[in-house]
Amino acid sequence: MPESKKFWQFRNQADNTVELLLYGDISQTSWWGDEVTPKQFADELAGLGALDKIVVRINSGGGDVFAAQAIGNLLEQHPADVSAKIDGLCASAATIVACHCGKVIAANDSTYMVHPVRIGAYGYYDAEDLRKYIEALAAIKESIIGLYAKKTGKSKEDVTAWMDATSWWTAAQAKENGFVDELVDDESVVAENRGGLLFINSVNTGVPFDKAPNFVQSAKAATAAEGFVNKNCQKEDNNMAVEIKTVNDLRGAYPALVNEIEEAAAQNARNEERQRIQDIEEMSLPGSEDMTNEAKFTKPISAADFAKAVVKNAKQRGEKFLTGAKNDADNSGMNGVETSTVAFNGVESDEFMAALKSVGAKK
């Protein structure tokens, strides 16, 4: 299975506290049958060491149910105090992660959305195949209904009706329905119409703008209970008013962009490292295995430096060979043999002996 693009980021670890950033799609490919990516997330979480608090910052339109369930369960089982902070949008599979957290805090001008479970099927299927897909959808939906009911304290009938209706809520409405525990005023949310699609805090929700609820489409400032657009954030250009002097300033203003840049840089570094190792392997000579492994792993050097080392090593081995040949010739007494005109395979012996002597004389 091709490697999935990493969609999460652990950041700002200090004093046994860490943030988990979930901005954008939760996995571009399904975690069903993926043995690599879930393990990578689990290993990163375990590698953080002892933690007292994990804050999951969410601005996501959802994604893969299996990825959301795996992340949510890992967080719920973690001994740290885990809370979710909805910075802009918490929709679809992102709500699964939020519901696994001990406490959900939402910006007053954020939004929340639940909808029916969907499955992507490609190809041709007979009735039996389709029946299995329907059974799978029913099982997944039932597990999500149970999670929602546990989080909200509402009946399964209530949460089923919300899902079937594709419900969009303000933060206050989500709190009233039990999905959010606390509202705060310290976040700013931007709702935009980009090419007919709804973007929230620069994250594409995948929803046509004209299909979004009226409170999302409204361009007027409104209270948290009535509307979505913050009066200080109606224009994307307003973000430029933030003075950015450090990387942390940039991360605070454009977290999704910084995450994308860092991921691209990490991927470039991985590509460069693979190319370095490949170049070194191609330049390796028989008998230089130890030097090659050292250059690749234990004492890494560039391919150019390795090329110089290979040439130097070959020269040293050549000089050693020539020195050995000269010593062998000296010790054999060959240098004391008188030349004669007897032919040896068609070559006069004096020419033949002179050629042998020259082997040890050349530098």
The answer to whether the beta carbons of residues 110 and 86 sit under 8 Å apart is yes
Hey, how many other C-beta atoms are within 10 angstroms of the C-beta on 231? 11
CA distance 46 to 48: 5
Per-residue pLDDT of 63-72, as tens digits, reads 889 999 999 9
Q: Is residue 102 part of a domain?
A: yes
Hey, how many other C-beta atoms are within 10 angstroms of the C-beta on 24? 20
How much is the pLDDT for 207? Answer: 65
Q: Is residue 70 part of a domain?
A: yes
Token code pair at residue 132: 């299995």
Hey, how many other C-beta atoms are within 10 angstroms of the C-beta on 94? 28
Q: For residue 226, name the pLDDT band (cuts at 50, 70, 90).
A: very low
Residue 133's contacts (CB-CB under 8 Å, 6 or more residues apart) are 119, 121, 125
CA distance 67 to 60: 13
Q: Is residue 64 part of a domain?
A: yes
Q: Is residue 206 part of a domain?
A: yes
Q: Is residue 135 part of a domain?
A: no
Q: Share the mean pLDDT of the chain.
A: 77
Q: Pick the residue with more confidence: 117 or 351?
A: 117
CA distance 235 to 239: 8
Per-residue pLDDT of 170-205, as tens digits, reads 999 999 999 999 999 855 566 677 777 777 666 666
Q: Is residue 331 part of a domain?
A: no
Indicate if the pLDDT at residue 230 is higher than 80.
Answer: no
Q: Is residue 324 part of a domain?
A: no
Q: Is 245 helix (H, G, I), strand (E, B) or coil?
A: coil
Indicate if the pLDDT at residue 234 is higher than 50.
Answer: no
CA distance 251 to 222: 27
Q: What percent of the chain has pLDDT over 90?
A: 33
Q: Pick the residue with more confidence: 268 or 159?
A: 159
Indicate if the pLDDT at residue 99 is higher than 60.
Answer: yes
Supply the CATH number for residue 86's domain.
3.90.226.10
Number of domains in the chain: 1
How much is the pLDDT for 231? Answer: 33
Can you give the residue range of the structural domain that contains 232? 9-115+166-239
Q: 0.75 exceeded by the pTM? A: no
The answer to whether the beta carbons of residues 190 and 181 sit under 8 Å apart is no
Q: Is residue 358 part of a domain?
A: no
